[in-house]
Amino acid sequence: MVIKQAKEVLKIEAQSILDLVERVGPEFERAVDMILKAKGRVILTGMGKSGLVGRKISATLNSTGTPSLFLHPAEAIHGDLGMVTPDDIVIAISNSGHTAEVNTILPMLGKIGARIIAFTGGLDSPMAKASDIVIDVGVEREACPMGMAPTASTTAALAMGDALAVALINLRRFNQDDFKKFHPGGILGERLTIKVKEVMLTRDHIPMVQLGSKVKQAIEEINAKNLGATLIVEKNKKLVGIITDGDLRRALTRYKNIHEINVEDITSPLVKTINENQTAAQALELMELNAITHLAIVDRQNRVKGLVHLHDLLGREEFRVNGSFNPTTGAHR
Amino acid sequence: MEALTPPRGLIADLITPLKLDGSIDGKGLEGILDRVTPFAQAVFLSSPCTGEGKNLDSDERSDLLEKALDVIRGRIPILIWVTQDTEEKTRKTILTLNKTIEGTRDHGQVFWVDTPLYFHSNRGLPAYYRDICSMVDQPFILHNDPELIRGVGTPFKRNNIRTSILKELTALDNIVGLVFLGPLDRAYNYQRACRGRTHFRIYDGDETNFLSYPSTSGVVSVGANLAPGAWHRIVQSSLLLKGEQSNGEDLRQIWELDQYLRGLKDIYQTMPAAVIKEILSDMGIIETPTCTFPVENIEKPKEEIKELMARSGD
């Protein structure tokens, strides 16, 4: 019984989001455009569970580059309306569109000059009528009996908020550097707390060529491992230096046939190293400080144990845009 | 352009009060409407089961509609079941009822409720509705009730409107809603089929479905004959028409109402028209408990319902 009920609830909630797909149209585009062009902030407001949804959407907007805050409708009447400026956009959330506390402040917000976007299922409701743009987040069925708590409707509003935030991310060309700035405690921040040894490349994955080898071998190794560089080591794997794509470009202008010269002729001894027990955040900091994208991991005898690339610290999949790698910031070395 | 926007909320599925001679009890109808209309967003007349529509011919339905129009005078919309056991008779009923409306001032909104599979297969339904919609102005609300269809034993293969057919039907402006009975999985498919239509309503025809997972269009309620106030409160709450629940006391009351309405349904569901008429007759709201079919062994459920209602103050 319990399992059946749980499955039913999940189906209803999933359906509520699927139903939104058909309804995303010109109004949504107008809302995105309005927010994008706004000089002020996006202010979320709503009562009860809708208020909680508003808080979450506000947090998502903040962490993805759209300045946002939550305004409690009751507090608004008692003075908090002062935080609203004519440049702000207000997103009011109410499934029915009849929430008295929210509808009370809408005319006041209008007088201030802020523009209003309604997230509601009540397309003919007072809230819809008082708004500049109405985004339909209505659902066909709630998953909770007797309206004890809004369920599918709040899920739908939340999902629409995410759709809005993601649309804005893409239009603002929000990149990973922005994400780091705004979201150090999120998935990415979490990733940066792990130790280097958990993300470094080891054994055969490390691009490595022995001292005395021809540059041709180094080029083959760089191509094979696809990291834009190879470490140069002694026979016992003691680290000597690094050759990067940049070194090869520079060598091309200096040598007539770089295939025939030895790696030591173009190896840079300035390779930076880090201990495997240091954090990914420390590795990232070192890379940023030196404007490099590779760090070698060595033991006490300076023998190579691993290599870490900037992409490994930030999560390689996160750099994929439209199926190809997005160029990241930072010089190669 | 869209046809009339169908109502949203509580639709009371009314019993049809009859005199001893089987004619419509106008005074009784007025009594029920006075009891129900303050709480309902619409009333449903001559429904196949509770309203005994299966046994009412077009003239009787016309008489019922005329009397209801006279009492309601456009205050709330009226839904009336137009289906008969053949396409020809159904057409005749629709035309007869249409005349009744045309002959009434201040008739307000009237919607035809039609159970197409009662007399027609899925094949050819869009053509049928295109034709019938061109004959009358009133909008249609479809009625999907697999149990009803199974009961009449039609030769057609299916007991439900096919989803693809429903999608075609919703392209017609004059088809504005659906009363749905059946498993929720089918409801989700229907919901997907109707996505393209703004203001298309899918009402729960099964009270238990509504009490468990409320459709936000509303419910067609049999129990509203007995406890219109309780149903009104539950529907208002479920559709969040008054905003979100504000306090624990509200929630406790709503929880108790839910238990009360489920309890009533458990008792009347086997023979709703007969049981409800007995009770309303005892309360003096309708003249007699006369039904269009033979009634026996309803003393026990009647007493159980009366006791439950007395405990809940109805």
The predicted model gives B173-189 an average pLDDT of 93
Of A9, A98, A145, the CB nearest to B214: A145
Distance from CA of B73 to the nearest CA of A (A): 24
DSSP H/E element including B177: strand B175-180
Domains in chain A, number: 2
Is A19 within 8 Å of B217 when comparing Cβ atoms?
no
**DSSP annotation string for A223-279:** HHHTSSEEEEE-TT-BEEEEEEHHHHHHHHHH-S-GGGSBGGGT-BS---EE-TTSB
Q: For residue B3, what pLDDT band results from cuts at 50, 70 and 90? A: low
Distance from CA of B143 to the nearest CA of A (A): 17
Residue A330's pLDDT is 30
- The two beta strands, B175-180 and B140-144, are parallel
- Is residue A324 a part of any domain in this protein? no
Residue A287's pLDDT is 85
Residue A187's pLDDT is 54
Chain B residues touching A22 at Cβ < 8 A: 195-196
The residue of chain B with its CA nearest to that of A136 is B198
Distance from CA of A114 to the nearest CA of B (A): 24
pLDDT in tens, B54-73: 999 999 999 999 999 999 99
- Is residue A332 a part of any domain in this protein? no
Of B192, B241, B254, the CB nearest to A146: B254
Distance from CA of B255 to the nearest CA of A (A): 8
Are A203 and A173 in a shared domain? no
The predicted model gives B207-223 an average pLDDT of 93
Question: Which range has the worst mean pLDDT, A76-80, B84-88, B142-146?
Answer: A76-80
Are A229 and A285 in a shared domain? yes
For residues A229-239, b (16+ Cβ closer than 10 Å) or e, as one string? bbbbbeeebeb
Q: For residue B313, what pLDDT band results from cuts at 50, 70 and 90? A: confident
- State the Cα–Cα distance between residues B261 and B224, nearest whole angstrom: 9
- State the Cα–Cα distance between residues A113 and B127, nearest whole angstrom: 52
Are A163 and A207 in a shared domain? no
**Angle, CA B204 vertex, CA B198 and CA B209 arms, to 5°:** 135
Are A71 and A133 in a shared domain? yes
- State the Cα–Cα distance between residues A18 and A112, nearest whole angstrom: 36
Is B234 within 8 Å of A150 when comparing Cβ atoms?
no
Distance from CA of B128 to the nearest CA of A (A): 28
Supply the mean pLDDT for chain B.
91
The residue of chain A with its CA nearest to that of B196 is A22
Outline where A96-195 has alpha helix (H): 100-112, 126-129, 152-171, 176-182, 187-192
Question: Which range has the worst mean pLDDT, A104-118, A184-198, B35-49, B132-146?
Answer: A184-198
Residue B171's pLDDT is 92
Is B238 within 8 Å of A142 when comparing Cβ atoms?
yes
Domain boundaries, chain B: 9-244
Is A19 within 8 Å of B191 when comparing Cβ atoms?
yes
At the top level of CATH, the class of B9-244 is alpha beta
| CATH code: domain of residue A204 | 3.10.580.10
Return phi, psi of residue B313, to 5°.
80, 15
DSSP secondary structure code for residue A209 in this structure:
E
pLDDT in tens, B243-287: 455 567 777 888 899 999 999 999 999 899 999 999 999 999 999
Return phi, psi of residue A271, to 5°.
-70, 135
Chain A residues touching B178 at Cβ < 8 A: none
By the 8 A CB rule, do B119 and B152 touch? no
Are A235 and A166 in a shared domain? no
With a CB-CB cutoff of 8 Å, which residues 240-269 of chain B face chain A? 240-245, 251, 254-255, 257-258
pLDDT in tens, chain A (333 residues): 789 889 989 999 998 999 898 889 999 999 999 999 999 999 999 998 899 999 999 999 988 888 999 999 998 888 888 889 999 999 999 988 989 899 999 999 999 999 999 999 988 899 999 999 999 999 888 888 776 778 899 999 999 999 999 899 878 765 545 555 555 555 555 666 678 888 889 988 899 999 999 999 999 999 998 888 999 999 899 999 999 988 888 888 888 888 889 999 999 887 889 888 888 877 887 887 788 889 999 988 889 999 998 887 776 554 333 333 333 333 222
- State the Cα–Cα distance between residues A138 and B185, nearest whole angstrom: 19
Residue A192's pLDDT is 65
- Is residue A160 a part of any domain in this protein? yes
Of A96, A142, A148, the CB nearest to B251: A148
By the 8 A CB rule, do A137 and A18 touch? no
> Helix, strand, coil: what percent of chain A each, to 5?
50, 20, 30
- Is residue A187 a part of any domain in this protein? no
Are A207 and A308 in a shared domain? yes
Instruction: List residues in chain A touching B: CB distance below 8 A.
Output: 8-9, 11-12, 15, 18-19, 22-23, 47-50, 94-96, 98-100, 121, 123, 138-143, 145-150, 153
More confident residue, B19 or B314: B19
Q: For residue B308, what pLDDT band results from cuts at 50, 70 and 90? A: very high
Chain A residues touching B245 at Cβ < 8 A: 147-149
Is A19 within 8 Å of B239 when comparing Cβ atoms?
no
By the 8 A CB rule, do A95 and A50 touch? yes
Q: Which domain holds residue A146?
A: 2-182
- State the Cα–Cα distance between residues A53 and B154, nearest whole angstrom: 49
Are A302 and A274 in a shared domain? yes
For residues B70-97, b (16+ Cβ closer than 10 Å) or e, as one string? bbbeeebbbbbbbbbeebeebbebbebb
Distance from CA of A180 to the nearest CA of B (A): 38
Asked if pLDDT for residue B242 goes beyond 70, the answer is no
Are A26 and A173 in a shared domain? yes
List C-alpha distances in Å: B275 to B40, B207, B289: 21, 17, 9
Are A76 and A38 in a shared domain? yes
Evaluated on CA atoms A132, A135, A139, A142, the torsion sign reads negative
Of A73, A77, A69, the closest CA to residue A47 belongs to A73
Of B79, B63, B73, B66, the closest CA to residue B34 belongs to B73
Radius of gyration of chain B (CA): 19
| CATH code: domain of residue A45 | 3.40.50.10490
Are A54 and A92 in a shared domain? yes
Chain B residues touching A123 at Cβ < 8 A: 198
Are A168 and A256 in a shared domain? no
Are A246 and A121 in a shared domain? no
DSSP H/E element including B34: helix B26-36
By the 8 A CB rule, do B161 and B185 touch? no
